[in-house]
Each structure stands twice: as C-alpha cells, then as structure tokens.
Amino acid sequence: MGSDPILIYGAYGYTGRLVTRQAVADGLDPIVAGRSAEKVESVAVTHGLDHRVFTLDNPREVADALADVAVVLNCAGPFDRTSTPLVDACIETGTHYLDITGEIAVFEAIATRDSEAEAAGVMLLPGVGFDVVPTDSLAAHLADRLPDATHLELGFQGLDELSPGTAHTVVESLDDSGTVRRDGILVDVPVAHDIRTIDFGDGPTTAAAIHWGDVSTAYHTTGIPDVTVYADQPEMTIRFLQLSNRLRWLLGSDPVQSALHGLVDRFVDGPSEAARREESMYVWGRATNGEESVVSRLVTPESYLFTSHSAPYLAARVRDGEAPVGFQTPASAFGPDVALDIDGVERTDE
C-alpha cells in the first residue's frame, strides 16, 4: 500500500505549496495537480514530481485522473466548490478523500455521503489541517475526560495572518450569520453574539463566538449536543463583526465582494516563513455537564505550519491502510491524541 500514490489537488496555492514541500520531505512522492498547467508544472519541476492538469468541471475527466490514486488531498478552496466533484470521483474510483477545509457547510455536506463512502470502501476526511485537527483532538480528549458532557466550548488564539485562499473564503462568508450547535442542531445566531473571557494559557483575554468548522465536526466526533467556538479578537474587530450583522446585505453585494476580493489579491500574501516558524497557536476547550467542568489546552505550531505537517501525515496514514471507511473527523478516525502526533504540540489539563 505504501507505494500507492497520493494526489495533492491545488498544489500551487499558498497552503498547497507548503503541504507539497512537506510531503516531499516526508518521502511521500505525491502527484501534484490543479487546473493551471503552468502553475502545476512549476511545482512539479521544483520538486521533481509527476503532475496532472485537470479542472473539476467534467466528472469523467476527474474520475479518470483519480483512477490509479489511493488518496486525494484537496488543498484547493473555496471547498464548497471543489469538494463535491472530488468526493463524487473518489466514491466512483474507490479513492480516499481528504481536504483542509474549515467550512461548516462542507463538513455537513460530506457527512451526508457517509453511507455512499462506506459502500465504496473509502474514507471521507475533511479538515486535516489546523482546521480542525487540534480542536477536534481536544474535543475528543475533553469528551473522554467527561463522558456525560452536554456543553462544549472551544477557542483558539494566534491566527493573525491569513493566506490568500483563506482570505477569499472569509470575504465570501461576510454575509453569513454566526453558527452554533444547540441540542444537536446547527443554529444561526448573530455574528460575535457571545463575548467571553478565556485564558488560553497566558492570562485572560477577550474572545468572540465565531462561525468555525468545529461547530459541525465536534458534534460528529463527541456527540456533545451544544457546541460553541471562540477566537481571541481585538475590541475593534469584535465591534466590526457585530456591526456586520446589520450590513450583511451590503457585504454580500457583488460590488463590495468584487472590491474586497481585489484587495485580497493585492495585499494578502500569507504569513512569511519567519512568522510560520516563530509564532504559535493556543487552543482551549471546556466541557461541562452542568455540575462538573473540565478544561484542557493545546499549544501548536503556527496554523499554516501545522497544516503543512498534519495534512501529508494523515494522508500517508490513510494511504497505508489506517482508514476507517465512511465520513470521519480527524479524532473519530485516529483518536483524541492525533494532534499530539505533530511535532511541537503540547497538551495540558486542569
């Protein structure tokens, strides 16, 4: 199984390049792929890799490109556009599917394909980057510590710079509401509807509830029915987020969207290599049953550096046969300690 190929789709984006470089360093010899022949060929030549060029518009073309592939690692967002054609092809060809999404709608849509994937003998595992490996791992650990927990809160600190792809996804979601999980159901709420103080490990700081993938995945992993996710935010950012509740109609309009995407293209480059090496992420979680509570924390490498290690690592484990079939989350597939497999991750409990 170890010689079966892993294909990285979107290998020339900001995160795709980091993932590809680490996959090569890990000895995985991936096939690199994407829709731009020039960009795919550039990555392939840099690393001495095989490459394939195909769009996701023609189902037959996609299936043909994956026919001899063991695992697809999708790094091409926005994933609400790229995940469905690749999942369709993976189910048809018996290829395992992984991606680095953090989009709630994508997690939920892929979860509905569980029975199809089981019948095809393939794993569908979205979210193998910083979204959502550390937080999913922490959620599972907290559920183990308090098996009868009814409420789960997760949060993180340190996401200061975005890649171009992530920034474009954020722009497209500006007209979305916030989302929480209540009684097992996804519920729309105002953006930044809940502000609280969280100690991520270096003293209390202000955090706002955000629209984040764990609202989907943590429930699938743990069964805990109430889930909210927070992020450390400056006061001015929180005010903007709350103001956006009244401006969603404007932020989602074509002229504003076009202008904001243009600004992303012009000004967003993603964290520098020095920033990736020097910064850290701080993840916090609390589970409660109403009478008892448990708190745990993780410290991880910077988010994009973490993703560059976790995505190829998990793709290799899937390729090598450690792949429970059907829809999975990182922790449902590989257990609550999965984040600890990445160098530089530490966990503490209260």
Q: What is the pLDDT of residue 3?
A: 61
Q: What is the pLDDT of residue 178?
A: 87
Alpha carbon distance 38, 64 (integer Å) = 21
Own/partner contacts of 333-336, CB < 8 Å, gap of 24 or more, are 333/123, 333/125, 335/140, 336/137, 336/138, 336/140, 336/141, 336/143, 336/144
Interval 175-191: pLDDT, tens? 777 899 999 999 999 98
Q: Report angle CA 250, 252, 254 to the nearest 5 degrees.
A: 95
Predicted model pTM: 0.93
* pLDDT, average across residues 285-300: 97
Q: What is the pLDDT of residue 344?
A: 96
- Decide if 22 contacts 312 (C-beta within 8 A): yes
DSSP 30: P
The pair of three-digit structure tokens given for residue 254, joined into one six-digit string: 């074509």
DSSP 336: T
* pLDDT, average across residues 33-38: 97
Q: What is the pLDDT of residue 177?
A: 77
Q: What is the pLDDT of residue 133?
A: 98
Q: What is the pLDDT of residue 2?
A: 45
One-letter amino acid at 76 equals A
Look at residue 4 and tell me whether its pLDDT is greater than 90.
no
Alpha carbon distance 198, 145 (integer Å) = 20
Give the burial class of 291: count Cβ atoms within 10 A of its Cβ; 0-12 exposed, 13-18 middle, 19 or more buried: exposed
Look at residue 319 and tell me whether its pLDDT is greater than 70.
yes
Alpha-carbon distances of 164 from 16, 76, 170, 212, 245, rounded to whole Å: 12, 11, 10, 18, 24
Look at residue 230 and tell me whether its pLDDT is greater than 90.
yes
Interval 124-177: pLDDT, tens? 999 999 999 999 999 999 999 999 999 999 999 987 777 777 777 777 777 777
The pair of three-digit structure tokens given for residue 52, joined into one six-digit string: 């394939």
Please state, rounded to an integer, the average pLDDT across all residues of the chain: 93
Pairing, β 178-182 against β 151-157: unpaired
One-letter amino acid at 235 equals E
pLDDT confidence bin for 20, thresholds 50/70/90? very high
* CA-closest candidate to residue 137, choices 350, 274, 339: 339
